[in-house]
Structures are given as structure tokens and as C-alpha cells.
Structure 1
Amino acid sequence: MAATNGTGAQAGKQIPPGKPMSTEQHMLDKGAQMLQSLKPIKHMNQHVCTFALYSHDMTRQIETHHYVTRVNQDFLQCAVFDADDSMAHLIGLEYIVSDRLFETLPPDEQKLWHTHAYEIKSGLWVNPRVPEMVARPELENLAKTYGKFWCTWQTDRGDKLPMGPPALMMSPQGAGIGVVNPVLVQNRDDKYNISSDALKTARVEIAEPEWLNPQADYWKQHNDKGFAVEVETTEMEKRASFP
């Protein structure tokens, strides 16, 4: 797992508690894999590596690996992991919508979303091992999208199991508290033998949206105020019992 607390320190891989898988379990899983369709997983057709920051504490920054399903031209859904190896942890999910769909959302909902234009144009968003010229059309589409990313497992703070409520995540930006730690970026670039700076130069002509809705990236327009989810006790809805 590649993660940092803002100082560039790398967090170690956390192994969830539990007994090793038995031979019988391996056989059951293999059998199920042969018999079942697993259609939702087979529709994941892109791997994206980028970075995300916690909305309630943007000094905490993580490398993320999105496995993307394009539902249609305006909507994508992503399973997010903290690495791209067989021991990766499923840490959350992100939904991505076009600017057209984003403008149909209520203002209070728009506050939970972030832009992708800087993330892509700066070279932080990459499709590992895919030639830039192949990825270019998709990058041009994604530069005009908005994302909502909930982190459900904060492995960067050492949690061995998913703990607490989900955390809303923000996208990197070019100034202030939105800047990604350069050590984190360099570690990622070294792993994939790429240069974010070179990608930034190559992507300079990717068109940015004509207008970025100020409700997105809410912290930028509202004195660095973010969002945190808290769990509270509430009365359950009552209904008549079934016969």
C-alpha cells in the first residue's frame, strides 16, 4: 500500500486478522468461479492509478487504484483498492458523472463531489501500462467529469479491518492543501516507470471544462471547510409486523 500522512512516510501493508484459507476453501472458490458468471466484475475494463485526500483532514493523502466500469457515456462506477497486487484492500468506491449529469444534481449533493480536470491535466491520473495515445480519448472525456469517492477502509492509518463510518475523499489540486506530497507521486512514478511531469506537458492541450461548478471541490470556495461523517443513534422506522 502506498500512503502518506503528509510527511512522505510509507505505511506498511496491513494484514486483516483471521486464519489462512484452507485447501477446501480454495477448491470451493475455484469451483464457484467456474460455475458463476461474475458479470459485474468482468465489466471492469480500466485500471486507473491516482491520488486522493481525506475531506476532513487533507494532510492525509493516499495512492488509489480504481477498477472502472463504464455504465454509459455519462456514468462510471469504480471499485477502489489501495494497491494493484493480489493482497490489495478494497477501500471504497467512486462514482463518476459527466458535467451534464452533474448539473442536474441538487446543490447540497454537488458539495460532495470533486472535479477531475486538474488531476488529469497534471499527470497525476494515469492508466498504468497503457500507452498515452491509447488512453488520450478517455482522458479528454474524464477531464470534464465529477467524482464522489467514499473511503470505507482507512488502511493508511493502520486499520486492519474497516472501522468507523465512511470518509469522503477529495481530488488533488494545484495549490494550497490540495497539493499532493511529491514523495508520494515520485514513488508511484518509479513503480510504473513514468513521469508525471512529462505527462503534464503531453496533456497541456486537453480541453478543460468551460466552467467548473463551484459547488464541487467545496473546500476551495469555503475557507478550507470539509465534510466528516458521524454516526448517531436514531429512532428506527416502525411498521406493522408480517403475519
Structure 2
Amino acid sequence: MGKTDGENRTWWLLVGGRRRLGRRLAEALAPEHDLVLTSSAPWEGEEAWISELSKQSHVRCLLWDAASPALVPSMMADLEALGAAGVRLNSCVVVSGTFPETPLGAWTPQDLEDLWRVNLTFPLLVAQAVAPHLADGGCLQFLLDTAIHKPFRKRLPYSAAKAGLAALVPGLARTLAPRVRVVGHALGTALPGPQDDPAFLASRSLTGRIGTPEDLARSLTFAAESPYLTGEVITLDGGTRWI
């Protein structure tokens, strides 16, 4: 499918949109939207992937590294340049995150700082930078985790970071209203890792299957296209938390 033209085609910013889940989301959204994709660093084979994606979408790529001391001025400069080039963002999705196993007894100040920088501080800095550049009625969206409902015992610092971000969704919605809407998505399994057992994960879902990046893309699109929705967290886990 080639690029579609017309006023229905909008620009989306996917922060962390060039790796794993972000990459799959970009592929799902490309037929209908133009994309700005960020990553902390290029990866092997990225140029070929972007070339293929560009057959369906106008694509721009940025480097935003959560660990960089120059992160904030870099984001501001990039966003100003996008605006000067006529790119008006309709939706921003913060995909970036880490998912380390950190059992009680193994925590160190540096480990906690690194984890919270990526999973909490970075999304907040992105929100602060991007919000002024979103179109009126635009939607700022955060990927959360069902750990906000039931924290992972071996990943409590991660769970705390996601819970903190979830708590900020209504606060940001109030702060940015009425011009910008804010929505969170608490995910179950959307893209199993190589160590996961898909059959077991499916058995823990009321739907009898695991989620897919396409399921998430539909939820993101619903939020972006629902002008009366803001300040809410949508749980997308196939009913897993009710088992």
C-alpha cells in the first residue's frame, strides 16, 4: 500500500518508535499516518527498514537519548525544526521503557536512578517538550503496564515507575486542557519476548489469546480520534487481571 493523500492523514510522533514494540507500532500506523520516530541510537538494518516503511508513510527520524545531558535542548531544537518544516503533530505516543528484573535485595541507587530515568523522568520531559507542539485537540499518550493494578514482585521499581506515570495522566490532562488531551494505556502482553510461553500467556487471558501490536495500534487510534476522551487510563490486557 502506498502513501494516501488528503487531510485525513496526520503526523504521529512515536518516542521509541524504531525498536521492538515501537517498530511494530510504526508498521501498523504507517498506512494511515505520517511518522516521526525517535530512538536512543540507530540499530543494524535500520536504514533498510526505514526505506521500506517510507513506501507507506512520510517518515522522519530523530535521536533522543534519555541518558544524554543535552536531551532537553535537543528535543526542543528538533521540535522547532519540525514545526518550521510544516510538521504539525496530532498525536505523540511515548513507547520507550525498560523492563529489568530487580528483586528486593538487589537494588542500588544507580540501578533505581537508571530505571526511573527511562520509565518516568524521560516520559515527563517528553510531555513537557512536545505538548506545545501538538495540534489543538491533539493527544499525548503513554504506554503503561497492568503492573499499575498488580505490581510485579520481582520488578517493583519498574511497577512503581509505571504507577507514577499513570498517576500523572489525569494531572497532565488537567494542566494541558483544553488544548491537549492525555491518555494512558495499561498493557498486558502486547509482544512476547523470546523467553515467554505464548500458550501459557494466552491461558491467562479471558480472550484466550495474547495481545498484538495491532491491538495496541487500534487502542491508540481510538484515543487519538476520540475528542471527548482525556485523563483516563485504558487497560488493554484481554481481561488478564480478572483471572
What is the TM-score when the length of structure 1 is the normalising length?
0.23
Greater percentage in helix: 2
- Which structure is higher in RCO with an 8 Å CA cutoff and minimum separation 6? 1
What is the TM-score when the length of structure 2 is the normalising length?
0.23
The structure with more radius of gyration: 1
